[in-house]
Amino acid sequence: MLNRQGALTNWTKSSYSAVNGDCVEVKAQTSSSSIAVRDSKALQRPALGFAGEAWSAFVLDVCRGQD
């Protein structure tokens, strides 16, 4: 699912962000219970949207070191 993001929203940068700004940003969308993810270098592009459960599963797998 693709989501358009507004200019005045609160995004959180990845803690693994590179010094040059190459990173992923995440924003919880409480109105639709989804998580939006975008590339900080391409803000004009739409964000990807994930269901909260799918995002949680992804984060848990990353923390466990799974592919």
Express each pLDDT in 4-61 by its tens digit.
444 446 888 877 776 666 788 888 776 667 888 988 888 889 889 999 889 889 889 9
Kindly tell me if the per-residue pLDDT of 3 is higher than 50.
Answer: no
CA distance 11 to 17: 13
- For residues 56-67, average pLDDT: 84
Kindly tell me if the per-residue pLDDT of 2 is higher than 60.
Answer: no
The domain of 37 spans: 2-64
Residues 11/6/59/34 CA torsion (nearest 10 deg): 130
State the pLDDT at residue 57: 92
Encoded amino acid at 62, one letter: V
Please tell me the total count of domains within the chain: 1
State the pLDDT at residue 18: 66
State the pLDDT at residue 1: 43
